[in-house]
Structure 1
């Protein structure tokens, strides 16, 4: 979900009648909630984009230089398996970069077993000790400051016994798991669904749980702004889904979950498995947690560079002819709230591209209609409406309206 967000632009407002004034106040309150949920928090504890699809689309080469949004850093490590020259990870939220730096330090200064305890099991029996003795000295100051206060995320204590139930998105996952655990029959069937051997079994189990899993109360809850804010979905994306999708947000979520759980192999879908179980398994986990990849990633970890700034500012400060951009879906927010910033970002991207540069982005919308004219002139696009339809179908996350891949002319 969106990774680069900010407060809504303020400017002269037209005269408001009482109804418009009420709507104006509600929207600003929603933006305030989103800002405060995200302002001091780790938002994403996993990347919510499928790197298997990304790598197939981007065709990363040894001379590739990638600029991407950090999120939880999982996908940057996944891309590193293709051995690019450099990956620059950009995020306005320093906590997301602190998470990636922590993962890098486990590759460079610890062992595979330690890495898997922290991020495979989501907890570590000596989390604080290992952090202080092996990892902290090698972290940048801002990451030290964050993890000095948050190593409890990995201690396995309290009601949230896993790192994957921490941060705002983890809190939402934990609340949903608690809802299921309070209904033992439902929880048992969901666990059986996650272990189903065939798509036919998956469909049978899903039919048994769907109505209880998404009853009226749950549908109402997942449509609320606060729930979506925890998941990292700002008001602009909520509005896109509400306006474009029949049945609005709740129907979009239910249909997306139905697709993932009945049409794709759930046994290897680590995105959804981890949020239900609170941990990965060695057979169902991101590529960076597979033991056979550890030494390669250890050798290449220094090729990942983190930057706490905006996309545009990074490109102004670090000009170059980059080969790939991974924008996630943050331009949904820019298109709704800050068109000048959207245009500036595209100007910076094109000024720092070369012929053949690839641009990968996603959207809550079924179709992106906010590309500036000068972008349409310089970039050839394929999308999930046509050429990328199969890739979009196979995406194990399954919660985006569309995916676009652009090639600079």
Structure 2
């Protein structure tokens, strides 16, 4: 019976992820990534698209090419819209759309300036969805759309309904010291972790909408006896009491629905805009899997960024995991870097042929991971091909 239930959960997860925009922003800290990857003008990158923020941040390091791969065309459509906004060359409008998450004249702007720069599949998507940026209705921000965005909006509405919570959140986001942060966060923690939210966070549907598959949830449950709540509570305490919040644009966005010019991803900084324009043509999107991309585009790539999808492959499609790694290793040189994250504190599901070919930089990644501003993953891995 449980096997049938799990199979149904996985089917629903796949259905949701194949028919919706899941991620409206990236939830991996690219500041850490760029330190670990050390990209340069000879770098040829293969990575998962997600919302495209990190690919754009990587492009500031002048890599030769960045191949962004996602099985969900909606994720690639979002990156293509960001690329079009950069190519158009108006930083103020670029920031209104992707910094503030709204621009009241977006329909006209899209039709006249952005649409001509988009591939056909992205046009098909944005012809129907560009109104998500117009700031009208109850949500006001593009960042409250998509499955993870819908969840963020519900949380914001809930917190705003609680007396004093809105002011506490603003106070937390504007703290100048760790001592101030600790004081502000511990006043908020009971509101973040009340009975209603605790119940929601342990529901499979909630995790599915946030992009967490059952395999990752199971990895967390193995290590945390109080389930998802314990995992989240531990990570939030680290993020909000151990790392300065002044430039934590991840949580500012999630809690407010917008960035500020002083607290935003690097691709939304005005002094980086010209570099982005110069490098944007080196960033390509591909709607497929990593394995299929490598079959059709063999080469000796210098960097792979696999996010956390190894967790899912290991539990659901181990044969696909083996195939992907065989293709990665066959399309790498000695010294190629492979970056990934996991819900597990320690990955123990790689077969021997991978371990024989990869040197894991454990000490380096553990140190880097301790400065991660997001707090959604238990571990970070950097492997070097021997």
- TM tier, shorter chain? over 0.9
Gapped regions of structure 2 (runs ≥ 5): none
1:157-202 CA-to-partner distances (Å, cap 9, x unmatched) read 1111101111011111111111101103122212211111110011
1:99 counterpart = 2:78:
yes
Equivalent position of 2:251 in the other structure? 272
- Which residue of structure 1 aligns with residue 148 of structure 2? 169
Cα distance in 1 between the residues matched to 2:79 and 2:33: 19
The equivalent residue for 1:4 is none
> 1:13 matched to which residue of 2?
none
1:46 to 19, 25, 46: 25
SS of the aligned residue for 2:263 comes to coil
Shift of 1:370: 1.2
Cα distance between partner residues in 2 of 1:54 and 1:24: 37
Partner of 1:108: 87
TM-score, length of structure 2 as denominator length = 0.98
Tell me the CA shift for residue 343 of structure 1: 0.1
Displacement of 1:216 = 2.0
1:35 correspondence with 2:14: yes
Q: 1:390 aligned to 2:352? A: no
Aligned equivalent of 1:11: none
| 2:252 is the alignment partner of 1:285 | no
Instruction: Report deviation, 1:219.
Output: 1.0
Are 1:249 and 2:228 an aligned pair? yes
Partner residue in 1 for 2:101 = 122
Contact 2:89 2:277 survives alignment (8 Å): no
Separation (CA, whole Å) in 2 of partners of 1:406 and 1:363:
14
Instruction: Point out the more displaced range, 229-238 or 34-43.
Output: 34-43
1:72-117 per-position Cα deviation (integer Å, ceiling 9, x unaligned): 0000010001000000000000000000000011111241111001
List aligned pairs for 1:311-350, cutoff 5 A.
311-350=290-329
- Partner of residue 177, structure 2: 198
1:259 correspondence with 2:238: yes
User: 1: CA distance between counterparts of 2:169 and 2:146?
Assistant: 24
Alignment partners' CA distance in 1, 2:154 and 2:350: 37
In structure 2, which of residues 364, 379, 385 is the aligned counterpart of residue 402 of structure 1? 379
Conserved 8 A contact 1:71-1:91: yes
SS of 2:302 mapped into structure 1: strand
Q: Displacement, 1:345?
A: 0.1
Displacement, 1:212? Answer: 2.0
Q: Indicate if the aligned counterparts of 2:366 and 2:379 stay in contact, CA closer than 8 A.
A: no
28-37 or 214-223, larger mean C-alpha shift = 28-37
Count of residues in Structure 1 that have an aligned counterpart in Structure 2: 386
Contact kept, 8 Å, 1:110 with 1:134, in 2: the verdict is: no
Gaps spanning 5+ residues in structure 1: where? 1-20
* CA drift at 1:299: 1.0
Instruction: Give the CA RMSD over aligned residues.
Output: 1.0
* Structure 1 counterpart SS, 2:251: helix
Question: Match for residue 15 of structure 1?
Answer: none
Where 1:355 maps in the other structure, the secondary structure is strand
**Equivalent-residue separation in structure 1 for 2:334 and 2:298 (angstroms):** 16
